[in-house]
């Protein structure tokens, strides 16, 4: 029996762009990208900057924030607000962090104590207007402070329990993709101890905050990230950056974090290393947290700083150059409907455009590209006409044979459209 990939992984060379992590930070991202485009004399509609998915957080104990807004001190969490208001009719997905409350929450799930909540969650996920849902069950499970490390088997079993319950329902099975999300830093147990198994994991996720810096509050390095990404490759799972932001702020505010000697360029300090990693491992989703952390009570003086792209003009320009117009395809709203497949044509056109720029001083180059594009158009027209012609020939032959059969009939009778014929 051949393996069927139901992960909704985008085509190679493509990455779903996801933005978080509270309602108004997401809105700020979109409006500021639009503002930037207008100042660049572009006329793209504001909807063209809507991401493929938006981040949202809730917990299995209360399910707050799904149908009604809630603010934990970290901005408004409101799933329906994302799909039904902020991105209405734009086919944006949801990337959800589901808090389990450590081993205790896992055991409550396994005992059946939370079955009603699980059913309510499945019902919501099955019927949400989100195009797809990426559910990070017990996100950052290997963070020692999150309470799973004392009993990894309980986490594995709770993960499997939720997946199996979802897969009892076809709508949940089709829409929800389960993400196994590591914090990519020092842990108290090996990754393998937490892994539920290939049959229950659709994606492998990592967090990226300060691992690229020569210092890290979590004693983490780039190798902690690549360890998880290699694990994903070994298990043939698509990978995502499930949470990311330049810890300390885009401009590394000295009052809340350490300095970074010899690296004054904000883009090259954090954003470019992330893009390099995405290319190296062909990462399928990048979730960026665009947030004024320092202004939110939950995160005030924790050290995250200011990570809204709009606060740094050079970073905003680089974002437009590298993310919207770079060599890699970052997929936006609507791309999850067919798992990025429609973007293949966009990639081909993008490559053609890049080649045209390369040969813009060469008439021969321009002629070759123009001829290639003309030939492609002719081939597509030919295929379309042949397909249409073939279909017409079949229908005409069916009608001819049907008419002959009527002539051969020994007793005349009235033939109605719904007798002996198919209504097309």
d(CA 265, CA 250): 10
Average pLDDT over residues 265-280: 96
- 162-176, 210-224, 274-288, 380-394: range with lowest mean pLDDT: 380-394
Percent of the chain with pLDDT over 70: 78
Identify whether the C-beta of residue 250 lies closer than 8 Å to the C-beta of residue 309. yes
Of 200, 128, 129, 140, nearest to 165 (Cα)?
200
Q: How far apart, in whole angstroms, are the C-alpha atoms of residue 295 and residue 196? A: 37
Residue 341's pLDDT band, with cuts at 50, 70 and 90, is confident
- For residue 421, which phi and psi values (nearest 5 degrees)? -135, 155
Query: Is the predicted pLDDT of residue 396 greater than 60, yes or no?
Result: no
Closest by CA to 28, choosing from 65, 68, 76, 70, is 76
pTM of the model: 0.81
Phi, psi of 71 (to 5 degrees): -130, 115
What is the spatial distance between Cα 99 and Cα 137, in angstroms, rounded to a whole number?
Answer: 7
Residue with structure tokens 């004399």? Answer: 41
DSSP code per residue over 172-237: HHHHEEEEEEE--S--SS-HHHH---TTT-SEEEEEESSTTSS--TT---HHHHHHHHHHHHHTT-
Q: For all residues of the chain together, what is the average pLDDT?
A: 85
In this prediction, residues 230-245 reach a mean pLDDT of 98
Among candidate residues 74, 172, 158, the one with its CA nearest the CA of residue 123 = 172
**DSSP letter (8 states) at residue 269:** I
Task: Identify the pLDDT of residue 389.
Answer: 44
Name the β-bridge partners of 201.
Answer: none
Give the confidence band of 254 by pLDDT, cuts at 50, 70, 90.
confident
Lowest mean pLDDT among 78-82, 288-292, 378-382: 378-382
Q: How many CB atoms lie within 10 A of CB 169?
A: 16
Distances from the Cα of 29 to the Cαs of 40, 357, 400, in angstroms?
Answer: 17, 30, 62
pLDDT beyond 60 at 246: yes
Mean pLDDT computed over 81-88:
98
Q: How many Cβ atoms from other residues are within 10 Å of residue 123's Cβ?
A: 13
Strands 76-77 and 133-137, bridge-based pairing: unpaired
Helix axis angle, 102-110 to 152-166, nearest 10° = 50
Query: What's the mean pLDDT in 293-297?
Result: 94
Question: In terms of Cα–Cα distance, which of 321, 413, 393 is closest to 40?
Answer: 321
In this prediction, residues 67-96 reach a mean pLDDT of 97
Of 321, 259, 330, the closest CA to residue 288 belongs to: 330
In this prediction, residue 420 carries a pLDDT of: 36
3-state SS, residue 411: coil
pLDDT at residue 344, as a whole number: 54
Crossing angle of helices 343-358 and 363-408, rounded to 10°? 150
Instruction: Name residues whose C-beta falls within 8 Å of residue 57's C-beta, 6 or more positions apart in sequence.
Output: 21, 65, 77, 96, 97, 99
């Amino acid at each position: 029996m051949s393996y069927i990939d139901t992960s909704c992984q985008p085509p190679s060379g493509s990455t779903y762009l996801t933005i978080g992590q509270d309602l108004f930070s997401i809105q700020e991202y979109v409006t500021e990208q639009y503002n930037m485009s207008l100042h660049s004399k572009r006329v793209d509609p504001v909807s063209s900057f809507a991401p493929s998915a938006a981040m949202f957080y809730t917990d299995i104990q209360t399910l707050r924030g799904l149908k009604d807004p809630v603010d934990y001190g970290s901005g408004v969490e409101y799933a329906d607000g994302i799909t039904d208001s902020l991105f209405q009719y734009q086919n944006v997905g949801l990337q959800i962090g589901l808090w389990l409350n450590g081993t205790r929450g896992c055991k409550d799930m396994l005992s059946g104590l939370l079955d009603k909540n699980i059913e309510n969650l499945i019902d919501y996920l099955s019927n949400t207007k989100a195009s797809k849902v990426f559910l990070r069950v017990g996100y950052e499970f290997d963070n020692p402070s999150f309470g799973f490390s004392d009993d990894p088997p309980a986490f594995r079993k709770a993960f499997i329990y939720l997946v199996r319950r979802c897969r009892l329902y076809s709508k949940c099975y089709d829409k929800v993709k389960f993400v196994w999300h590591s914090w990519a830093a020092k842990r108290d147990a090996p990754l393998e101890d937490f892994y539920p198994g290939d049959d229950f994991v659709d994606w492998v996720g990592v967090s990226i905050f300060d691992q690229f810096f020569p210092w890290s509050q979590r004693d983490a390095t780039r190798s902690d990230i690549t360890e998880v990404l290699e694990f994903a490759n070994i298990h043939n799972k698509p990978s995502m950056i499930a949470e990311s932001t330049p810890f300390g702020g885009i401009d590394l505010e000295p009052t809340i974090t350490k300095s970074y000697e010899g690296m004054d360029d904000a883009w090259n300090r954090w954003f470019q290393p992330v893009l390099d990693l995405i290319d190296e491992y062909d990462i399928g989703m990048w979730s960026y947290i665009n947030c004024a952390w320092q202004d939110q009570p939950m995160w005030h003086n924790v050290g995250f700083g200011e990570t809204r792209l709009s606060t740094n003009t050079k970073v905003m320009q680089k974002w437009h150059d590298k993310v919207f117009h770079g060599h890699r395809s970052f997929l936006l709203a609507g791309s999850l409907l067919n798992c990025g497949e429609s973007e293949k044509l966009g990639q081909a056109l993008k490559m053609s455009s890049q080649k045209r720029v390369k040969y813009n001083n060469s008439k021969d180059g321009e002629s070759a590209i123009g001829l290639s594009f003309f030939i492609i158009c002719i081939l597509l027209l030919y295929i379309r006409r042949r397909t249409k012609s073939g279909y017409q020939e079949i229908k005409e032959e069916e009608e001819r044979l049907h008419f002959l059969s009527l002539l051969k009939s020994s007793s005349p009778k009235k033939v109605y459209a719904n007798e002996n014929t198919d209504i097309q």
